[in-house]
Structure formats: C-alpha cells, structure tokens
Structure 1
Amino acid sequence: MRVLTVLAILAAGPVAAQTCGGSWSAFKAGLVDEAVTLGLERGVAERFLANAQQDADVLRADRAQGVFQRDFVDFSRRLISNNRIENARAQSQRQDAIFDRIEAELGIPREVLLAFWAFETDFGAVQGNFNTRNALVTLAHDCRRPELFRPQIFAAMELFARGDLNPDTTTGAWAGEIGMVQMLPGDIIENGRDGDGDGQVSLKTSPPDALLSGASVLSSLGWVPNQPWLQEVVVPDAMDWSLSGTQTRLPASDWAAMGVQAREGDLAQLPASLILPMGRNGPAFLAYPNFDVYFEWNQSFVYVLTAAYFATRIGGAQVYDAGNPAPGLSGDQIQQLQEKLQARGYDVGGADGILGAKTRAAVQAEQQRLGLPADAWPTASLLAQL
C-alpha cells in the first residue's frame, strides 16, 4: 500500500517531482528515479518504461472533448435510449447475484452501477484500445494536467510488480482507465475486488469483479446506503432562482415551502440542491448528498447529471419534462462568455467552451448583478450585456 500513501501525498498538491515536458528520455529517467524513492525496485520501473512511447492519439482525445459542450437535453438524449435501458435491465437480471451482494454489503443501488457500466463501456463491449502505460506517461509528460496522471504511473508500476498489469499489452481508455467500469490504476489497487471468487481481479473480463470493484470505489467516495441521489421536480413560475445550483443546499421542507414539488412520489427528507441544467424553464431536479459522489467519478457537469438521471430511469422513473428553455449558447459563445467572466475576476476553470459548475456559478453571480433571473443558464442576451 506504499504507493497509495504516496498517491495521497501527490494528490494533496504539486511537489518538486511533478515535472512535465522536456526530453522524453529524460522524463522517463526522472520517473524511474522517483519510483525508487517511493519504494519500487529500479529494475521494475525500468522494465515498465522500457518500451513506453508518446501517443499522439491520446493527446488528440484529451483535447477533443466537444461532446461535453452539448446541453443537458441534447447530451442525455444522445446517451440514453430505450434499447440501452432494456439492456441495463437485462444485465440487472443476468448479474442479479452480484448486485444483491453489492446492495447488501455496500448499499450501492444496482441502477447506479448499471448507468456507469452502460456509459463507460456499453456493458463491457467498448473498453478502449489505447495502451494504458503509454496513455498515462503521455498525459503526465504533457503539461496540461500532469498532477492527475503522474501518480497513476507509479500505481501502474505497482500493479506490474504484482503481476497484475502487462505494460506492453494492457489497454483501455485514452486517459488510462482499465476495464468494464473504467478504473485508474490507483483505484484498482485500493478498490479492486474479486467478485466471482476465482482469486483474481479481472476488470476487463469479469462483470462481477468489475461491478464489485466499481461499487467499492463509490463506497470509498462516501456513498450513503439507502439514500436517493436525484429526483425530478416541478418548480413554480417564480421563486428566488439564485438559490439554485450545487453550491446551495437546503432542507427538502424549505424547497417545498417555495413551491418545489416532486414530479413522482414525495420529496426525500434530506438536504438537497435545486439543479436547473437549462435554466428555470427547462428540466429541474433535486440533487441529494449522494449526488456529490458522482463528481468524484467524473468532473463533467453534463455527464454527471446524465448518469445520475439515467440511473433513475433504469429504476423506473419517467422521462423528464424538457420544458421550454431559452436557446443556449454554442461552444464558441460559451468560450467568449468565459473569457468575459475571467476578465471580471471569476474563476471558471479556463475558457474551454464547456458550461461546467464554475462557469454556471459565475453566470449566476452576473445575472444577479444585472437584475436578471439568476438561474445560471447563459443566453445570447446575457452574453451581449457582458
């Protein structure tokens, strides 16, 4: 577990060892030296990196994430289909035994795992064919987000030392995730579980192993058993829209007092945030504390909300009411908006054309300043006013 201890240290903030760029051979030599300081044998690190090559396709994939520029309705309709829901329910029956075990031991609902399984690899059918070692080393050498990927190289080395990863043949997603639910090496070390009882953790070929391991990740991230994560609601025509957004959490009774009602069933008696992904005239949801765990799995707001909503659909919820939201902005317009917000001192996480949580919060603050309904949904009118 020594690598995990170091992973936690590295994740806490930049350190001198987290360099990037420069000569590829010198970069690999630096990785070997650091691996030795972490307790790995030099020979293990050298063999792991011996054939490591930069992968230009990985960098292209990292830069080309335009799908996250789509709005929630467009994005969710592209990812969710009746066929996918039917496949999820069929997999629920097929893997009933491991889902029962997961629900009993960890309290993770099967529909939550089924949604991730569907979105990440289409139930194991599309796991990625990028060489995992090359992907991690390429992304660590690249200077965009080295702090995220450099620690994972040492975790992958540890898996190699254990005989659980072949650096020349192991493949997965472009960002280094492996298996049916796409887990990074550090997560595999900490949460890899043998679900089928064969004494091995086979995340690429064993659904029970992959599902139990994914459930262990969610549990480690703080999932609370027997609590909901997302619920569609109906909002009144007028209210204090500045209270919407993930940054505000109120008791369900407070939302009810403002006129927010569950579209199906009753509101859960838990603290919740009002999520309006396309403004006050679009779909509306209450996000309960378990919703936060989704952001530990993926940082994209539109992906997280879609995955959480899809899980409710698998569980029997009806199709959301899309409403009649005001037309949104294109990716280029969102980028212009972000540049204007940055000029006003807001931290929007960079001008990437993606309407994420930080950009939404900044939009909401500017809407309040301008006396507009502060529902965090940017329009062409707002862009013009800025």
Structure 2
Amino acid sequence: MRNSTRLLAPLILAALPAFAPALSQAQEATGPKPPCGGDFGSWIEGVKAEAAAMGQAPATIDAFFSSVRTDPAVLRADRAQGVFQRDFVDFSRRLISQNRIDNGRANAERYDATFDRIEADYGVPRGVLLAFWAFETDYGAVQGDFNTVNALATLAHDCRRPELFRPQLLAAIELYAQGGIEPASTTGAWAGEIGQVQMLPEDILVNGVDGDGDGRVDLKNSPRDALLSGGKMLSHLGWRPNEPWLQEITLPESMDWSQTGLDTQKPVSEWQALGVSGRSGDLGRGDLPASVLLPMGKDGPAFLAYPNFRVYFEWNQSLVYVTTAAYFANRLEGAPIYDAGNPPPGLSGEEMVRLQEKLQARGYDVGGADGILGEMTRQAVQAEQQRLGLPADAWPTRVLLDAL
C-alpha cells in the first residue's frame, strides 16, 4: 500500500486471532490537513464537490456515496496498537508457522509461471511476494470484511490522519468509475485495502495488472492479478532487481555497536573488513550500501539490510513487521532459521511508554509515547546508550530505563 506519506499496512492474521490489525508509527504529514470532522453529511458534500472539481460525473459521485456511512469498528481497529509491542523473535515466531511455510512453497509451485513473469518484468523474487501474500491475507483466505468505501470515508472524516485517507477515498471514486469496485458490496481490510495483497485504491489505479488475461483487474479473486500488481507496485516503489534485501550475519566481538542501525550505511566491503560475514552464504556485492540491523540488540539476531530492505518501509512502516516479512521471504527462498541468540528481556508496553516519555523530556522526537519500538525511538535509545557508556545497540532494557 502506498501514499505520499506512508500508511502502515494492516495485518490480517487468521492464525493469530488475538492479534488486532493496527496502524502504527505512521509518518506525520506536512502541510495543512484537509477538512475533517463535524457533521458527516456536510463533510461528504465537501468530498463530492472536490470529486466534481476533479472531473467526476455528478451521477457517478452520487451513486458512489449513496450507501456510505461511518463505521465505528474501523475507528476501534485504527486505535489498536498492541500487536506491534511484541519483539522481533516473538512476533516472527507467531507469524511464521510451518503451515505458512508449506503453503508458501506449494503456492510457489502452483503459480510458478506467474512468479517467473514477475521476476522477468519487475525483478521481484517470489519469496518477497509470497511473504506479503501470507502475512496480509493468508494467501488470499482472509481478506477482511469491512466495507471498503465506509472504511475510507470513516478514516478520511476522522481527524487523526485525513491527509492519508481523503486522497484514497477520491481515488476509490475513480476506481468505481472504471468498474473496479462496487461501493455497496466491496469489502477488504479496515484501512481500505482491497484484495489478496491488500492494495489501496491509488495503488490499484497506478499498479493494477490483469494477470490472467480476462480483461479486468480483480485483486480479490485472481491470485495472478494480485501477485503481478504487487510486483509492479514494489518495482514502482524502487525495488532493485537482482539484489538482496536482508541477510543474516555474524558479527565480530570487537564490533562498534554505535555503528549499527538503519541510519548508518557502509559498503559491504567495509563491513567485511570489520569482520562481518554471512551466516550462510556470501554477502552481497562489495559496493552495495548496507546497514547492520539488530532488532533485539547485540545478543539477538543480526542482519545486513540492503537498499531493497528500505523498500519494505514503503509498503509498511513497522520495523518489526518489515524485518519479519523480509526474513520470511528469505526462509521461503531457502534460508535457515535465524539464530535467536540470548538477548536480555525487552520492556513491557507500559515500560516502553515510560522510556519514551523520558526520552521526550530529554529533547528526542520519538514519534509519540505509544509503547512501540520504532526507528525514531531506537535512534534515541542508541544516543542515550552512548552517552551513558552502555553498549549502543539500540535495544532498550530495564538497565537503560533505570539509568534515565
């Protein structure tokens, strides 16, 4: 899913009913927010006027909005955040089941020709799309039952992030005009995504592909359409063909932990000179820029993140989600189970909020005290670890919390 400012793709985890879909760590938009709030009917009239100014026919606009209403369940889902308070090892073990691995490999064979086409046209490996397909909808089995137009209208009317959702609502009108959705009956995720790889209306308009040759783009019922559209979208977002995305590594004891994290990049050749090596297989080309990613600190799993890893954040902004999705893509391509190591316990959600509040009091922008360990919080943690003489691996522990 894509927008000019990034929106976190929802998780539809049929195998994990305790997990609620959640938006998290969404980027703050720049500039004034579009109109939001107030009387819903009056607000809809404003959207209709904007759609008409964009060239939509009055009859199309009226038909599109004829059954629209707000959906309180959408707002409840939007406020749910608990899933992203889990650490990488816990999160990845919950999402990556043997059933998902087996189904992924079976689907790789079933749609072998489609994946060959995606790799030839867009340079996106099959494991990458299989991982998204698995996590978003369990390979198409659970696509969401929220009315798409109601979800988009509800979130565009809500004043939390109207700058993200109003353009999607307007794009949905164009999608309707093209015959791509039916306002009264099209369903999907609570945040307005549609289909087996969960794409927003703008993405469907730009990247929708008729993969099965039936003359229409059907992301709900056609795996070929969904997979090719997802591949085109990743290419549009900057995927670099024939390059890795994430690779498990081993690190030397002499590692300077302050050099780890996504905000530090070095050519692979420099990391090799410092003693970084692949846990299985060789590292990427020596000239590729890469970052050492320690999702749970120096004693947990370690990865080298290449430029393609950053494209994942264009699909989804949660660090724990994208690391898990990128690792699962590796597993589906034959990589071994990662070495979990023995990291110290992380903080509870309540403790993380306290830590973020302390960091904010020291002048750091952590994106809000939401209890979620996002990249901004990790950068602040690393800076404070350096100041306090602790290993600067960006993994917050109770030692750091107590020291602050």
Match of 2:304, SS state, is: strand
Match of 1:272, SS state, is: strand
Matched residue, 1:279: 297
Matched residue, 1:57: 73
Once the two structures are superposed, what CA deviation does each residue of 1:160-207 show, in whole Å capped at 9, x if it has no partner? 111211111000000100000000000000000000111110100001
Matched residue, 1:302: 320
Which of 193, 200, 203 is matched with 1:177 structurally?
A: 193
- One-letter code of the match for 2:295? P
In the aligned structure 2, how far is the partner of 1:44 from the partner of 1:14?
A: 31
Do the aligned partners of residues 13 and 68 (structure 1) sit closer, same or farther apart at CA in structure 2, a change above 3 Å counting? closer
Check whether the contact 1:33–1:42 (CA below 8 A) recurs between aligned residues: no
Check whether the contact 1:14–1:147 (CA below 8 A) recurs between aligned residues: no
Matched residue, 1:229: 245
In the aligned structure 1, how far is the partner of 2:128 from the partner of 2:5?
A: 30
Which of 347, 352, 356 is matched with 1:334 structurally?
A: 352
In the aligned structure 1, how far is the partner of 2:206 from the partner of 2:354?
A: 41
- Which shows bigger deviation, 360-369 or 205-214? 360-369
Of structures 1 and 2, the one with the larger relative CO (CA 8 A, separation 6+) is 2
Give 1:65 shift: 2.5
In the aligned structure 1, how far is the partner of 2:65 from the partner of 2:390?
A: 55
Matched residue, 2:259: 243
| Correspondence 1:320 to 2:334 | no
Once the two structures are superposed, what CA deviation does each residue of 1:194-247 show, in whole Å capped at 9, x if it has no partner? 001111101000010000000000000010100000000011223211111111
Match of 1:214, SS state, is: helix
In the aligned structure 2, how far is the partner of 1:155 from the partner of 1:253?
A: 45
Match of 1:273, SS state, is: strand
Do the aligned partners of residues 298 and 78 (structure 1) sit closer, same or farther apart at CA in structure 2, a change above 3 Å counting? same
Match of 2:249, SS state, is: strand
Match of 1:39, SS state, is: coil
Instruction: Using structure 1 for the length normalisation, give the TM-score.
Output: 0.96
Matched residue, 1:371: 389
Match of 1:233, SS state, is: strand
Moved over 4 A (4+): 7-17
Give 1:43 shift: 2.9
Which of 351, 363, 366 is matched with 1:348 structurally?
A: 366
Q: Which has the higher helix share?
A: 1
In the aligned structure 2, how far is the partner of 1:317 from the partner of 1:202?
A: 32
Once the two structures are superposed, what CA deviation does each residue of 1:251-308 show, in whole Å capped at 9, x if it has no partner? 1111112221110111112211000000000000000000010000000000000000
In the aligned structure 2, how far is the partner of 1:283 from the partner of 1:345?
A: 30
Instruction: Using structure 2 for the length normalisation, give the TM-score.
Output: 0.91
**Equivalent residues in 2 for 1:94-133, closer than 5 Å:** 94-133=110-149
In the aligned structure 1, how far is the partner of 2:365 from the partner of 2:149?
A: 33
In the aligned structure 2, how far is the partner of 1:283 from the partner of 1:132?
A: 38
| Correspondence 1:39 to 2:55 | yes
- One-letter code of the match for 2:102? E
* Unaligned ranges ≥5, structure 2: 8-27
Give 1:8 shift: 6.1
Do the aligned partners of residues 8 and 231 (structure 1) sit closer, same or farther apart at CA in structure 2, a change above 3 Å counting? closer
- One-letter code of the match for 2:130? L
- One-letter code of the match for 1:272? A
- One-letter code of the match for 1:35? A
Give 1:19 shift: 1.5
Matched residue, 1:385: 403
In the aligned structure 2, how far is the partner of 1:142 from the partner of 1:221?
A: 28
In the aligned structure 1, how far is the partner of 2:30 from the partner of 2:299?
A: 42
Match of 1:290, SS state, is: helix
**Equivalent residues in 2 for 1:88-99, closer than 5 Å:** 88-99=104-115
In the aligned structure 1, how far is the partner of 2:41 from the partner of 2:151?
A: 16
In the aligned structure 1, how far is the partner of 2:258 from the partner of 2:30?
A: 35
Do the aligned partners of residues 280 and 17 (structure 1) sit closer, same or farther apart at CA in structure 2, a change above 3 Å counting? closer
Identity of aligned residues (%): 66
In the aligned structure 2, how far is the partner of 1:89 from the partner of 1:179?
A: 21
Check whether the contact 1:10–1:147 (CA below 8 A) recurs between aligned residues: no
Match of 2:367, SS state, is: coil
In the aligned structure 1, how far is the partner of 2:5 from the partner of 2:353?
A: 34
Match of 2:60, SS state, is: helix
